[in-house]
Structure 1
Amino acid sequence: MPKHRLLTEFGIGSSLRHQDYTSAAQRALKDALWRNSINLAELFGKPKEAMIIDVEIAVQEPEQVDCDTLASVFPYGQISVTAVKGGLDIPRPVGLPTVIANAAINVSLMLEPKS
């Protein structure tokens, strides 16, 4: 059975004062998830655990992102989290820069092709 991407959600999150890339990314994930209900698995007669969830996080310092912490945001599914260069670091007059993270969540299922 081939993998079929069925849904993509986007989110944005920030760390205003602590330059915490993982926190900004976690807020971006929640922004994408908390305003949507992803019921794809049930629509196709599959268990929620069958959902393949590929997450891409964009921040200026991707090596600072704890991908395992981000994967724990999801209550079910087969989770893969990748951090890449992107997002924004916005300098502040005093203190650490504000971090803005972008998240893309792709949800797929293994499905038989239509005949």
Structure 2
Amino acid sequence: MSDQRFIIEMGMGNDQYGQDYQKAARRAIEDAIRHSSIPMFDALGLDHAAMRVEVTVGVQKPEAIDCAALTASLPRGTVTVTATHGGLNVINPDSGNVIVIATAAVEAFLPYQG
């Protein structure tokens, strides 16, 4: 049997003044993983290296994302990061400033344990 997803966390990040999609994406991923504590690895004697992590980041300019750099920032498992069109740009009508908002889904998978 193939891998089974055992967790999915969602996060949101933004860059209010720099229009930096990478920074917003990194913050969205950090927001998602801060919600997770997975004690089952210790409880079941599982190795974190067995975990496959898939991250999807949504921003208005996915071409501005360095997926390899985001991959390197995740602490555990075999990680893949994909950037896709999503998120939101919000323009202040008074100043023209663009706020970049990114969303992230972090999914973790393990080989079937049954």
TM over 0.5: yes
Counterpart of 2:104 in structure 1 is 103
CA shift, 1:44, in A, is 4.3
Distance 1:95 1:103 in 2: 26
| 1:76 partnered with 2:70 | no
Q: What letter corresponds to residue 110 of structure 1 in structure 2? A: P
Query: Which contiguous aligned blocks of 4+ residues in structure 1 show a shift greater than 2 angstroms?
Result: 38-45, 92-96
Q: Is the 8 A contact 2:9 2:35 kept in 1?
A: no
Q: What letter corresponds to residue 45 of structure 1 in structure 2? A: G
**Aligned-pair Cα RMSD in Å:** 1.6
| 1:45 partnered with 2:45 | yes
Q: Is the 8 A contact 2:8 2:108 kept in 1?
A: yes
Gaps of 5+ in 2: none
Counterpart of 1:14 in structure 2 is 14
Q: What letter corresponds to residue 90 of structure 1 in structure 2? A: V
CA shift, 1:108, in A, is 0.3
Instruction: Report the 3-state secondary structure (helix = DSSP H, G, I; strand = E; otherwise coil) of the residue aligned with 1:17.
Output: coil
Distance 2:95 2:105 in 1: 31
C-alpha distance after superposition, 1:30-80 (max 9, x if no partner): 111123213343444320111100000000000101111211221120000
When the two structures are aligned, how many residues end up with a matched partner?
113
State the TM-score, normalizing by the size of structure 2: 0.89
State the TM-score, normalizing by the size of structure 1: 0.89
